[in-house]
Structure 1
Amino acid sequence: MPRAALIVPASAAATLAVVGAAEILLDAQFSAAPAAPAAALAAVAGGMLLAAWRPVAGAAVVGLAFPIAVLGGLHGPTGAAVLGFFAAPGWAGYRIVRARTSLLAPLAVQLLASLGTWVAGRASGSTVAGLGSQAWENLFFGLMAWGAWGVGRLARHLRDRAELLARLNTALDAEREAREHAAVAQERQRIARDMHDAVAHSISVMVLQIGAVRSTLPVGTAQAEMMTGIERLGRESVQELRGLVGLLREAAAREPAPPPSLARAEDLVAEVRAAGLPVELRVDGDLEGIPRAQDISAYRVLQEALTNVLRHAGPARTTVRVRRDPGSVALTVDNDAGTGTAGESPGGFGLIGMRERVAACSGTLAAGPRPGGYTVEAVFPLARVAP
């Protein structure tokens, strides 16, 4: 389960428990007979906690707080229950993927609220004023439950849209890199053709002309020997040009470099180490199978962070830690103080780009100096919300 899927309802349950306890202690009616409000509070807090695993069932348990309070002798739901009627359907609307399934949460709250108002009406007697009050309460709690559900669905829509934009941005980056590789290959092919068609051909013609001139000179003369040397040098130049053309064509025909991936973190560290940075890589967990958007973004953040160390701190001892667990991928680049500071120079965009990449994946980035060095830490959530 994603960490946020547990933290949000658990925090809501704890907050409602504190609010409900304060309500029981401070309200004279509740403190005189605390059994009913305490039972309603237990339903609210327990339902919100259950919503971490079963949002619809949790909303139904929260909705039971109204009938429980009325059956216990109260005239209506407690304040904590009213807050729960808003929080539970809203969380279900956000948490559940399918809108039709999430509709059951506000429906359950509305039906249980209607049951509570009916029980309260039966206890107080059926009068015209009582029927009007029941109608208003049904409308009020229905609007609250369905309004909260709508807010939750809107929040989920915005989050899904942000994730889609992040995936599209990743796909565009990959396409741009492929186009750049194709453009480089095409340019190499053009240079190879130009060298073969123009330079090598011209030199070959010159060699033939020099050979023709040499054949008219007396054998053994200095002029003949000089022409022979020029002719030999021309032929060697043609061979070297043909070899260079072959290299260019081979380079153009090679497969493009593998796409950016944390699975290639060792290669990236090796490149930076070859550039003079003493860096150590520590990997905890399997880096294969990470979702493409998070995988590429994490690789780019690591690449930018190591580049910043080289640019601003010089050959400072650096440690890279990559940790993957079921819910997230975290990477830390920690370098000692060097000739400079591994942060962002005035007018630089490295940290800004890293923050944008992390934010596009709904992750977090912390970057700043520490005693004796500088630390960059990025966390990318992995698991999508389950239906």
Structure 2
Amino acid sequence: MVVDLLLWMLLCAFVAAMGPDPFLDPAAFGTVTGPRLVLASAAVLVGRRQPLAALALLLPLGPWRFSEGFATVDLSWLLPRTGVKILPLVPTSPFIMGYAYMTGRREAGPWRPVAAFGLITAVGVAVVLGAGGDLALWVSMVTGLAGTYLVPYLLGLVRRLVIRQRGQARLSAEAQARLRERARIARDMHDSLGHDLALIAVRAAGLELAPGLDPAQARAAGELREAAGDATERLRQIIGLLREDADAAPLAPVNEDVTELVRRARDSGMAIDLDVAEPAPALAGAVVQEGLTNAAKHAPGAAVRVSVGPGRVSVRNGPARGRPVARPGGMGLAGLAERARLAGGTLTAGAVDGGYELVVELP
């Protein structure tokens, strides 16, 4: 409000300077400058929200005096007159330029500005024709319209497009950040929860077949195994929702030690033979965890052999001795293959002698 009040006072002062002297000719001042002050007041009142309306209100105060201009040029080679005003200026020209710039910044649709500029052009043509239609007047009028209205409007339009582009870039960066966070959550759920649920299912399967249990306890262990399998399937579906098709496969490897992974799997009842040769590659933990998780889910009770060397990591399991606790079709191998590719290696996986083998070779 303070800014608009100061703007109104300044604009009224410039409008008053354009008209008759109030002390020498009060009547002319009232009849000429009075309506102009009303238009200026209305323009300031609506200009902040509707700059195009302010342009229309200030139209009678536009650059229609061709006696003063930004520059005077000699066009005697083209016109009979030597002094031609380029970009005519009046005291209200800076305010009109400001509202034209604001129109470019805030007016989204093209039709209203086009209609307004058509009206402004019609007024300029009428002024030139009323003054005799001299070619020099046409030059002054065209440069006045371009400099006072068109150029500021285009500058505002460019500024609005730049701000919109920055906003879209910021929204795109935020969307990418959300997608990366979703991929990270999916990776953590797959690597940690999926592994743990598979081990729970293995423990339950072993307990179900343990001797000495009465039928109720064995049935409870079987229900626990089935519940772990169902939870694994729901986890796979949730991971599929978190990961979109456009997402890149997770690239960060699991940092858990291979020996600790094998120990936890052995504690759950898996029979694992471990062979580690230092130095182990950085992807060893991810490969071993994926291999053990798949063996626990799809080949429960099978013997597993884990071999880790400087350039080769393999997890091989024998034939399954129980029912699988999860459906095939997860995303773990796809993400692991991408990690191996970025590390310069290759991943191979497939059935071997009734079992399954996962091998990652690295340079």
Sort the TM-score into its range (normalised by shorter chain).
0.3 to 0.5
Give the TM-score of the pair, scaled to structure 1. 0.41
Q: Which has the larger radius of gyration?
A: 2
